[in-house]
A = this chain, B = another copy of it.
Amino acid sequence: MTTLRDIAEELGLAVSVVSRALSPDPAKSAAVAVATRRRIQETAVRMQYRKNTAAAALRKGRNIGIGVWLPEARDRLVGLIAKGVGEGAMRENLPLFLSIGYTEDVFSEFIRMSSHYAHSGLISYAAPFIRFPELGGELRRYCERGGKMVMLSCYFEDFQIPGAVNVGIDDEYGGFLAGAHFRELAAPELFFFGVESKRYRGVCRGFGTPVPRLESPEQVAAVLDRNDSGGKPFAFAAASDSLAAEIQRLALQRGLTPGREVLMIGYNDSEIATSQPWPLTTIRQDMYQVGLQAVGALSSMVAGEEVKDVLIKPELIRRTTA
């Protein structure tokens, strides 16, 4: 294993110079001559130097690595975020402290650990209870003390932690894609199944007119039981694949064929989408990219760079139901 000392001896320099040259902190990095730094960096590459993170952490008095909190795995999306985060961390040589759960307990334990351990930074999924003063307050204080944080897929437009950077999916655009697709198909009547959200507003914008919003299976059933469509298909944009699956179930129970008499578009491209009797047309979100970009953003923040929010565009996956 190559150490700083090896490089220093090789070049006849002091260890500290090498350390400074190889550290990303821009403030200190000015303190090394450009030529020297270049020589050092070249030698580091040639000798396959990799920083001993344990030693760096020890010296810095804080544990190195990033704390990651993801919601409980209800579908494969979490796995995909984890994949992105894992790969990003690997690239940056950053160890992970990974916590997955969807309860306040898990989250507050995570916060406790992170504060206690003062990791290099935090990546946190934006769960609803982040708004609770006790938990959100911890995060806020973490950022105030100079902690670096990335929030994943923040749906809460009215909730923002100062200093935190958001990385997520452009949900409004996802809804737009669904609405626009139905407009192209010339669907005579469109319904949205799910709560008021960016997705819903996107659907309305894409379709071109305000779309009635349904919140319960009963309301969906009532629409399907209507007999006034004149043979034209009912169209539904759902806020998730599982809601779209619910629509499909209700349709099948009534002998209506998905993709012909009832059109539906899901959201997420989860495993549900492909495993339905009529595989769902849906909106895919690249959660792998979300994870990857989150680590990238965090590592830039730690290096002292200015980082902007990242919004990733979803895409329409066309299958059998619309």
Using a CB–CB cutoff of 8 Å, the interface residues on chain A facing chain B are 1, 50, 52-55, 57-58, 63-65, 68, 70, 72-76, 78-80, 82-83, 85-87, 89-90, 95-101, 109-110, 113, 116-117, 241-242, 245, 248-249, 252-253, 270-272, 275-277
Residue of B nearest to A279 (CB): B249
A100 to B82, CA, bound (A): 8
Given A242-B275, A272-B271, is A82 in contact with B87 using a C-beta cutoff of 8 Å?
A: no
Cβ of B275 and Cβ of A74 under 8 Å apart? no
Cβ of A96 and Cβ of B95 under 8 Å apart? yes
How near does chain B come to A189, taking the closest CB pair, in angstroms? 24
Interface majority SS (helix, strand, loop, mixed), chain A: helix
Residue of B nearest to A252 (CB): B277
Residue of B nearest to A78 (CB): B79
Q: A100 to chain B: which residues have CB within 8 Å?
A: 79, 82-83, 86-87
Cβ of A87 and Cβ of B74 under 8 Å apart? no
Given A95-B96, A97-B95, A277-B249, is A74 in contact with B72 using a C-beta cutoff of 8 Å?
A: no
A100 to B89, CA, bound (A): 12
A50 to B100, CA, bound (A): 22
9 tightest Cβ-Cβ pairs between the two chains A and B: A73-B79, A95-B95, A86-B98, A83-B100, A54-B57, A78-B79, A79-B79, A96-B96, A272-B275
A89 to B100, CA, bound (A): 12
Max chain B CB contacts within 10 Å: which of A73, A97, A248? A73
Q: A97 to chain B: which residues have CB within 8 Å?
A: 86, 89-90, 95-96
Residue of B nearest to A119 (CB): B95
Q: A64 to chain B: which residues have CB within 8 Å?
A: 54, 95
How near does chain B come to A5, taking the closest CB pair, in angstroms? 14
> Could you list 10 further interchain pairs (A-B, Cβ under 8 angstroms) beyond the known A68-B86, A73-B78, A78-B82?
A53-B54, A54-B54, A54-B57, A54-B63, A58-B58, A86-B98, A87-B101, A95-B95, A96-B97, A276-B276
Q: A241 to chain B: which residues have CB within 8 Å?
A: 275
A135 to B113, CA, bound (A): 36
How near does chain B come to A109, taking the closest CB pair, in angstroms? 8
Given A79-B73, A248-B277, is A54 in contact with B50 using a C-beta cutoff of 8 Å?
A: no
Q: A78 to chain B: which residues have CB within 8 Å?
A: 73, 76, 79, 82
